[in-house]
Copies of this chain bind each other. A is one copy, B any other.
Amino acid sequence: MNARRRQDLSDNVATKARILDAAEHLFADRGFDATSLRTITTEANVNLAAVNYHFGTKAGLLEEVFKRRVEPLNEERLVRLSKLQEESGADAPSVEAILTTFIEPALRVSRDPAHGGMVFMRLLGRSYAEPNEQIRRFMPELYRDIEIQYGEALGAAVPHLAVEDLYWRMHFVVGTIAYTMAGTDALQLLASCPYCDPDDVEGITERLVTFLSAGMKA
């Protein structure tokens, strides 16, 4: 009996996870609208009706795909930011150090296939610019604490900046990171760079921090 229940539970979890994995991958590759439930359930090796059973609607599935990755990611960012602020004592942490606590957790995720890896990062990057109603509704919620905490930290790091300048620059920072995550080959706009390796995540991170810190302090 217990074995049976465990089996049921494990199947249940595995089914949900398989759907989430397939959806994540397909949404990242083709976009939300262009991905049908049929394609998702086929790739996940589950029945077509399973999505509606487990997630209610296709939009519900999309939301779960994001929540599963973004919540732990942002928690880690806030923990690192707190630690950094404690270590700095009375001094405000540097812009570089603050941005590093924001970017490095994303870097870690992007290298860990078990947490979505580059696939989810691509999806996340694209989502910042998407008109999809569902995404526009729940994403700001997922980022509320991030905005507040990083706004305060960066404000202390560049106190000479007017408030509106600070916010615009934070906006630019987020945009740059989002587009970089969305895939360096997103539009192959810079297709001709023979030296650029999109898989060199550490190198990109370093370049991002350098570039963004300079802009932030300008």
Residues of A within 8 A of B (CB): 28-31, 33-34, 125-132, 135-136, 139-140, 143, 147-148, 151, 163-165, 167-172, 174-176, 178-180, 182-184, 186-193, 195-196, 204, 207-208, 210-218
Nearest-Cβ distance from residue A69 to partner chain B, whole angstroms: 16
Interface pair B187/A176, CB less than 8 Å apart: no
Contacts of A151 in B (CB 8 A): 192
Interface pair A128/B211, CB less than 8 Å apart: no
Nearest-Cβ distance from residue A95 to partner chain B, whole angstroms: 12
**A interface, over-half SS:** helix
Q: Which of B128, B180, B192 contacts A186 (CB 8 A)?
A: B128
Interface pair A180/B190, CB less than 8 Å apart: no
CA–CA, A136 to B165, complex, Å? Answer: 33
Nearest-Cβ distance from residue A155 to partner chain B, whole angstroms: 12
Interface pair A136/B188, CB less than 8 Å apart: yes
Interface pair B176/A131, CB less than 8 Å apart: no
Q: Which of B34, B164, B170, B175 contacts A180 (CB 8 A)?
A: B175
Interface pair B178/A175, CB less than 8 Å apart: yes
Interface pair B195/A167, CB less than 8 Å apart: yes
25 A-B pairs whose Cβ atoms sit less than 8 Å apart in the complex: A28-B131, A31-B33, A31-B130, A33-B34, A126-B131, A128-B186, A129-B129, A129-B182, A129-B183, A129-B186, A136-B188, A139-B187, A163-B195, A164-B195, A164-B196, A168-B207, A169-B211, A172-B180, A174-B189, A174-B190, A175-B176, A175-B179, A175-B180, A214-B214, A214-B217
Q: A172-B176, A172-B208, A215-B211 are in contact. Are A140 and B191 (CB under 8 A)?
A: yes
Interface pair A140/B207, CB less than 8 Å apart: no
